[in-house]
Structure 1
Amino acid sequence: MDGCQLSTAILYKTAWLDAMGGLNSIQHYGHFQTGLLIAVLDSPVTLLSNIQFSVYRCEVKRVQYTTDVMGLLTDPGTERSQLPALLERHHRPLCVTLYIIGLVWFLALAHNSLNHGTYFSENALLPGLVEGDFHSDSLMLQYLQSLTEEAEKYPAGMPYAWLVGQFTQLGLDTFTHNFTLHYPMGKEKSFSGQNVYGILRAGRGSSTEAIVVAAPYRPPSSFLQTTAPSIALMLAMAQFFSKQVYWAKDIIFLVTEHEQLGTEAWLGAYHHGCSGGPVLDHGGIQGRAGAIQAAINLELHSARVSHLDVKVEGLNGQLPNLDLVNLIHRLCQRENVPHTFKNRIDHPRPESWGGWLQQLETLLSMVASQATGVPTGNHGLFHRYGVAAVTVEGSEWNSVLGRRVGIQQLGRVLEGVCRSLNNLLERFHQSFFFYLLPSTTRYISIGVYMPPFALLAGGLLVKALALWFSTSCAADIQTNASTSTSSTVRKVDYSVMGSIPVVVTTHVVSAGLAATPPLLSRLGLVVALSTEDSVFFGLLGAAMTLLFLPHFMARCTDIGGVSWEVVKTVAVLELAVLVFAGAVYNFSLALIITLTFTPIALMASPSHSRLGRLAKSLLVLSVHPLSLLMFSVLLDTVINFPGSAPLKLLWRAYMAIKRALMYSVADALIYSNWVFDAACVCLLPVWLLLWQVVHCHP
């Protein structure tokens, strides 16, 4: 047997085995036990290529080759070939286990044993190194009284002349900035606004760097809380800062109109940006300072507040450098000012069960707000320009914290922040930009929260591999069967090319849907519908129409011959790419998508029974992007209005859903918020593919 090659194969559960021709290449063979055939071959061909047979099930368990009669050498590919079989057999419990472990691990991150205490990475900040000198609390009250009297003359406008006059009297370089919004929805009206800002030039620098202290102006007719104390404190700080000689950076005092719209317009004009496109005309600015290093947005609703709440979430989930957040909390602690995050003061015993629950609530609250992509304050618009910024909000509604904070303490906190920022030699870069906050003194960095997220989403990759191995094996069996028989059974297309029509169709339709809101708003004018109703009912009607896409594809294409496993493989892989890529930009949004979509994506499959298909269809419908919006808004309504009657609660939720959808469209057009576009262009195609899988022929 020198020079021969030995091949062994196990054939089991066969109906019958029929040798159709002479086995010339087989020199020796033996039949050991039931279904075991060992043959010695002259050439390195497999046993299956020399024997034609019809089987109900055939599985090649092991193949061995040797060139020596003294022994059998194991094929190196044997152990590797067992992995697909193991993965196909055990991938379901593995996916469930990964999901559960990842979820429990992430929830446990709120405990102090799994997160870290905050610290400063930028030593140049030197927080609290010197004593505060601010004593202009009486001056701040004078400014507040004067501004309140002036605001009564402009119930729906902004006292531009008064603000310009105050900045000019303080010796600041004072300018105004005009902007115009061409609203793209409905009748396409135009709205104009004006910002006022003053620049305190650095006495010890060359105006190459700047710090921004901003505050939005809210007229008496606004339904939001007043920000007049913020502007009054800003003017008092400007008067105090103008007398100091240690400033190495310009300080810009900015008062914006129309909330975030004014801030977006001013930033676009200052940086020559084009984020608003043709919708927002930024206009031009006359005065300019240095490159903005950091920004503090003030939202004080009273001259005496109970605490300061620090807001960090920015546009599209961007966050400021963690050093800036820690700086404000540290200075508040130094000045004995109660400070919170998400309006929650730190638990006195964070290691206890109650402490973990409170930190978990704070963590989930940050996840919910960051996932929307909507800034929690005007500071969130600075982040896209590489400027670290936060909003400091002060209100007196929380009586649990007891005493109120005086103006002098607030001024010294702001003074300390500006003096620390004045010490910076370069932009914030050493600390984290990706983190989650369970409290004011603890943080969860990207290196801590990504492993549990990887487990949560890892099941998608496992499922995709299992489906790929399954379709590859099925394709090989179908090919072997077709060469041995002349069966007229319709073949199944297991190639990726066969799924291209349905994949391309879902993406094209979804991309087109993302561009329809302006058209829907104009069509609504024909039937006397408001913009909110036009967009809501238009998108709802489009979503319901897309439910019939599988039937349309079955009639117009040969999608019925394509394997549903291949379509699901594409959907699962696309979902995995979406969440893993999104996790490094807006982690909270990627987390929510992973938590909701992963279980549905794993179980989505055709069903032989009508009841099973109906149940799976309802489960897939529950994670439709519109369904997720409705569920989240309904939950938020229940939390904010716990005592409302059921019918009134549903009506509130219905109105809130329409407004939320309208705001997401407007934010996408004006501020380049990605949530609506991502839901239409990225998430909806995945959902449509899963819907196609459920309605495929099993």
Structure 2
Amino acid sequence: MLNRVRGKFDYSNCNRLGISCDFEAKICAELGEARRLSDSPAMAQSDGNKLKPRPVVRLGILLISQSFFVSVICLTAGVLALLLLPVLAKNTYISENALMPGSANNMLSGQDVSEANKLVKDLTSLELRLMGLGMESQRLISQYMSDLGAEVSYHKFYPQLHQFHPLQFFSGPDSGIIWKNNSCSSIGVNTVGIIRAPRGDGKEAIVLVTPYNPNKIGMGEALSLGIAYSVFSLLSRVTWLAKDIIWLVADSQYGEYSAVADWLREYHVPVFRKVNTGDTETCIESNILYELGQKPYADRKLYEGFKRAGTMAAALVIKVTDQNDYFEDSLNIYAEASNGQMPNLDLINIVNYLAVHKQGLRIRVKKMLSLLNSSWLNTLGLLFESLGQIARSLNPQWKFGIPATEYVEGAATLASSLYYQGLGVPTGPHGAFRDYQIDAITLEISPKVSLTKMARHNEFLLRGGRLIEGVIRSVNNLLEKFHQSFFLYLLTSPSKFVSVGVYMISFALLVAPLPIVAASLHADANNFDCNIVKEKSSSRATSGSKDDVKHGSWNWLNSAKKVFVFHLWGAVVSLLPYFICQMPNITPKTSFLLWALLSGFSLLILHLILGSQFSETAVFQPQDREWANLKSATISASFIGLCLMSVINFAAAEIGALLIIPMCLMARPLKLDIGAKSLRNFAKAACNLLFGFVGFPPVTYVLLKGVFEGFYEINVGDFWNWVESLWAWNSATYLFVGMVLLPCWALCIYILFHPC
């Protein structure tokens, strides 16, 4: 910079800076003024500070001129920051003092557990006697609820038809779409019991959810109903309850999520639907409300219509599974909802505290099991452990580094948390509550012995019931909704997390080179225009040269048009599955092949219509400059897409950045590297081909699935099934893959084979 200030003012100095002509002329004028003032000591002392080039401008010029080194440093630092997240994770803590978990003694008694165990036995014996008669189990549950004095009602819903909805992304599945030709036998029925709080005003409520299949009740479902009933029985007698309690027994024969989501939609936005089933007499005979009105249950207090309580403060989904591969009772926590939404961390914290310190349960969260045996990850953990020991030897107050085994488990949990948040698909029925900004999690309790051989049902029900009691008591203490703790976080263990302020550093470092490299490429591609400006400044230009200058300064429009065409093609590709799904009896393999064929054909058509070089601007842009402008526009579009996705789903943006950014930054015509005939250029070409191969979305999916699950289980239709699950749940990740990742990959391939 000093050399340019001290040197003779000339446009050629600006050309070497790598910035556009108009902006360059302004900067060079400022530099020339600074040079003139520096020759006059008096003027430099009086007014020189005001007329010096601004520090931001000088910093921008420096970064653009050194874009390669900035990119290498930022990418290396971004990947390192991502690998350091398990080390930087903090211990969880209760942010809201009003929660006070474990401050009160448990009130759940053996009598409540005995009644719950009786319900479990009645349900299992009913299953043995009346296989497939779901009405009997629903009547039995409603009878137990009514005996406690609860307000019992029923909610009918229709099976949900999962299909592609192009205009319904960023929300949960629409259960308003039902199967055609519905019959009364295909109607699902949720049983709902409500306990009114003696110290409440009916404006707030806590929800307990127990999914079960009334036509086939397993021991796990019966035990989950027993745990919920024991807590429900206790809460019907206590005097400290300040929030209403809703117990939703969700009919899961058509899906757990569908039953809960439809009930929530009716709870918040009543929907009046009339379905013509044809045979009215059959409907009346199969109507559960009609049957429950018959003896011997006619004296039970039942409520017609849809019963409501107050605003939901929190929800707990209770499930019991038979996973007897542990040495102690365990608790799995599922928290991911649609589009990477997470409940308030305080809800997980109180469950973790009560389960570990009060009930002695082993807390588990999902891990990428394939990473636990990874040798490179273990080596990295040993490296961080050694660095931590060196840091503590220098200063005992430096708490850097964790044991290698803890690092490997933290990295596996972090990878799982990133994956399931980035997928954007709920990991349980709790995800339906997050669509209404209600904090909810799924608690999956697993005993250490088989459910069929459990001789200690009472002990298991007592531990599970007291855990739920403690959580409800803590939520009952709240005077407002959860807001103190984090909503944006990644878990590295049940008791450790990484906050948004830490993990955003990695993403910011990864995307930081994109605007810098885009500006550098654009400036480099416009050096030819700057030479025209120099010639114009030395002599009067003719009318033809004026047109050249005019066209030359707008050469970037041709590249922007091509980028627009490719992203428009991405939108077309994202809509094609809607039409493919309309074809009857088509296999996933055939659907995928048809999708690929139509995608290639649509790209060819769009390129011929919109991408042909019919504009006059293309005439004045040489091919060796065209690819640089095209790469600049591609990087700019990638930067915008990643930043927008980080607002919607950060985990998806983080994973996408790891795929898109190296591919975009390395993209370069293969003809230039092959023509150079040097080892360095051949290495660049090989890296470009590798990134282009790995960056293709189907190939990326196959590689990731092969690493985590094994390559022997992969077939062509797997990618179609995965994509179908994304659009069925209206995940924004589907749009990100179709409208950002795929067009950027196609543009990079176009640059690789550009005839420069």
Under TM normalisation by the shorter chain, which class is it?
Answer: 0.7 to 0.9
Give the aligned partner of residue 36 of structure 2.
66
**Aligned length in residues:** 619
Q: For 1:498 and 1:192, how far apart are their aligned partners in 2?
A: 57
Q: For 1:156 and 1:429, how far apart are their aligned partners in 2?
A: 44
Q: For 1:198 and 1:544, how far apart are their aligned partners in 2?
A: 55
Q: Which amino acid aligns with 1:568?
A: K
Give the aligned partner of residue 365 of structure 2.
342
Any conservation in 2 of the 1:184–1:518 contact (CA below 8 Å)? no
Give the aligned partner of residue 269 of structure 2.
272
TM-score, normalised on structure 1? 0.78
Give the aligned partner of residue 263 of structure 1.
260
Deviations 1:655-674 (A, max 9, x none): 54332222122112xxxx22
Helix, strand or coil at the partner of 2:492: coil
Any conservation in 2 of the 1:297–1:391 contact (CA below 8 Å)? yes
Q: For 1:194 and 1:683, how far apart are their aligned partners in 2?
A: 42
**Superposed counterparts of 1:243-262, under 5 Å:** 243-256=237-250, 257=252, 258-262=255-259
Does residue 145 (structure 1) correspond to residue 99 (structure 2)? The answer is no
Q: For 1:294 and 1:12, how far apart are their aligned partners in 2?
A: 66
Helix, strand or coil at the partner of 1:120: coil
Q: For 1:549 and 1:61, how far apart are their aligned partners in 2?
A: 49
Any conservation in 1 of the 2:123–2:222 contact (CA below 8 Å)? yes
Helix, strand or coil at the partner of 2:704: helix
Out of 324, 339, 357, the position equivalent to 2:347 is 324
Give the aligned partner of residue 700 of structure 2.
628
Structure 2, gaps ≥5 residues long: 1-5, 14-23, 165-176, 181-185, 276-303, 373-380, 386-400, 675-681
Out of 583, 593, 596, the position equivalent to 1:537 is 593
Give the aligned partner of residue 8 of structure 2.
8
Q: For 2:532 and 2:548, how far apart are their aligned partners in 1?
A: 11
Deviations 1:583-624 (A, max 9, x none): 344221111011111100111133325967797466334223
Relative to structure 2, which stretch is displaced further, 307-316 or 133-142?
Answer: 133-142
Out of 473, 477, 481, the position equivalent to 1:423 is 477
Give the aligned partner of residue 321 of structure 2.
301
Any conservation in 1 of the 2:203–2:310 contact (CA below 8 Å)? yes
Any conservation in 1 of the 2:223–2:461 contact (CA below 8 Å)? no
TM-score, normalised on structure 2? 0.73
Deviations 1:473-523 (A, max 9, x none): 443224545876989999766544333432332333322332332311223
Any conservation in 2 of the 1:560–1:697 contact (CA below 8 Å)? no
Q: Which amino acid aligns with 2:248?
A: L
Helix, strand or coil at the partner of 2:158: strand
**Residue 389 of structure 1: how far off its partner (Å):** 0.8
Any conservation in 2 of the 1:318–1:585 contact (CA below 8 Å)? no
Give the aligned partner of residue 723 of structure 2.
661
Out of 459, 464, 474, the position equivalent to 2:513 is 459
Any conservation in 1 of the 2:411–2:492 contact (CA below 8 Å)? yes
Does residue 227 (structure 1) correspond to residue 226 (structure 2)? The answer is no
Identify if the C-alpha distance between structure 1 residues 603 and 156 changes in structure 2 by more than 3 Å, giving closer, same or farther: farther
**Residue 298 of structure 1: how far off its partner (Å):** 0.8
Identify if the C-alpha distance between structure 1 residues 584 and 315 changes in structure 2 by more than 3 Å, giving closer, same or farther: same
**Superposed counterparts of 1:89-168, under 5 Å:** 89-111=65-87, 114-135=88-109, 136-152=112-128, 153-155=130-132, 159-168=137-146
Q: For 1:474 and 1:142, how far apart are their aligned partners in 2?
A: 86
Name the structure where helix makes up a greater proportion of residues: 2
Q: For 2:346 and 2:598, how far apart are their aligned partners in 1?
A: 46
Helix, strand or coil at the partner of 2:307: coil
**Residue 320 of structure 1: how far off its partner (Å):** 0.5
**Superposed counterparts of 1:236-635, under 5 Å:** 236-256=230-250, 257=252, 258-272=255-269, 286-302=306-322, 306-342=329-365, 351-396=402-447, 406-480=460-534, 494-523=554-583, 525=584, 528-530=585-587, 532-533=588-589, 535-545=591-601, 548=604, 552=608, 555=612, 557-558=614-615, 563-608=626-671, 616=688, 619-635=691-707
Identify if the C-alpha distance between structure 1 residues 69 and 331 changes in structure 2 by more than 3 Å, giving closer, same or farther: closer
Q: For 1:549 and 1:691, how far apart are their aligned partners in 2?
A: 18
**Residue 323 of structure 1: how far off its partner (Å):** 0.7
Q: For 1:554 and 1:681, how far apart are their aligned partners in 2?
A: 18
Identify if the C-alpha distance between structure 1 residues 508 and 241 changes in structure 2 by more than 3 Å, giving closer, same or farther: same
**Residue 566 of structure 1: how far off its partner (Å):** 3.1
Q: For 1:273 and 1:178, how far apart are their aligned partners in 2?
A: 13
Give the aligned partner of residue 153 of structure 2.
175
Name the structure where strand makes up a greater proportion of residues: 1
Q: Which amino acid aligns with 1:107?
A: L
Report the RMSD for the aligned CA atoms in angstroms.
4.1
Deviations 1:203-261 (A, max 9, x none): 11121000001021146769x99433212211222122212122111111012222111
Relative to structure 2, which stretch is displaced further, 159-168 or 76-85?
Answer: 76-85
Any conservation in 2 of the 1:633–1:656 contact (CA below 8 Å)? no
Q: For 2:687 and 2:415, how far apart are their aligned partners in 1?
A: 30
Identify if the C-alpha distance between structure 1 residues 367 and 273 changes in structure 2 by more than 3 Å, giving closer, same or farther: farther
**Residue 424 of structure 1: how far off its partner (Å):** 0.8
Deviations 1:95-134 (A, max 9, x none): 12111111112211212xx232211111111111111121
Q: For 1:428 and 1:79, how far apart are their aligned partners in 2?
A: 44
Any conservation in 2 of the 1:218–1:228 contact (CA below 8 Å)? no
Any conservation in 2 of the 1:10–1:62 contact (CA below 8 Å)? no
The percentage of aligned residue pairs carrying the same residue is 25
**Residue 70 of structure 1: how far off its partner (Å):** 5.5
Q: Which amino acid aligns with 1:365?
A: S
Q: Which amino acid aligns with 1:362?
A: T
Give the aligned partner of residue 733 of structure 2.
675
Helix, strand or coil at the partner of 2:483: coil
Q: For 2:219 and 2:559, how far apart are their aligned partners in 1?
A: 54
Q: For 2:162 and 2:409, how far apart are their aligned partners in 1?
A: 43
Any conservation in 1 of the 2:127–2:216 contact (CA below 8 Å)? no
**Superposed counterparts of 1:15-54, under 5 Å:** none
Q: For 2:55 and 2:323, how far apart are their aligned partners in 1?
A: 74
Helix, strand or coil at the partner of 1:516: helix
Any conservation in 1 of the 2:560–2:633 contact (CA below 8 Å)? no
Q: For 1:458 and 1:227, how far apart are their aligned partners in 2?
A: 50
Q: Which has the higher contact order (CA 8 A, sep 6+)?
A: 2
Q: For 1:171 and 1:236, how far apart are their aligned partners in 2?
A: 14
**Residue 373 of structure 1: how far off its partner (Å):** 0.7
Helix, strand or coil at the partner of 1:385: coil
**Residue 681 of structure 1: how far off its partner (Å):** 3.3
Give the aligned partner of residue 194 of structure 1.
189
Relative to structure 2, which stretch is displaced further, 508-517 or 66-75?
Answer: 66-75
Q: For 1:341 and 1:92, how far apart are their aligned partners in 2?
A: 44
Structure 1, gaps ≥5 residues long: 1-5, 14-47, 50-58, 279-283, 639-645
Q: Which amino acid aligns with 2:739?
A: V
Any conservation in 2 of the 1:8–1:62 contact (CA below 8 Å)? no
Helix, strand or coil at the partner of 1:308: strand
Q: For 1:70 and 1:509, how far apart are their aligned partners in 2?
A: 60
Helix, strand or coil at the partner of 2:8: strand
Identify if the C-alpha distance between structure 1 residues 162 and 564 changes in structure 2 by more than 3 Å, giving closer, same or farther: farther
Helix, strand or coil at the partner of 1:599: helix
Q: For 2:444 and 2:100, how far apart are their aligned partners in 1?
A: 24
Identify if the C-alpha distance between structure 1 residues 219 and 372 changes in structure 2 by more than 3 Å, giving closer, same or farther: farther
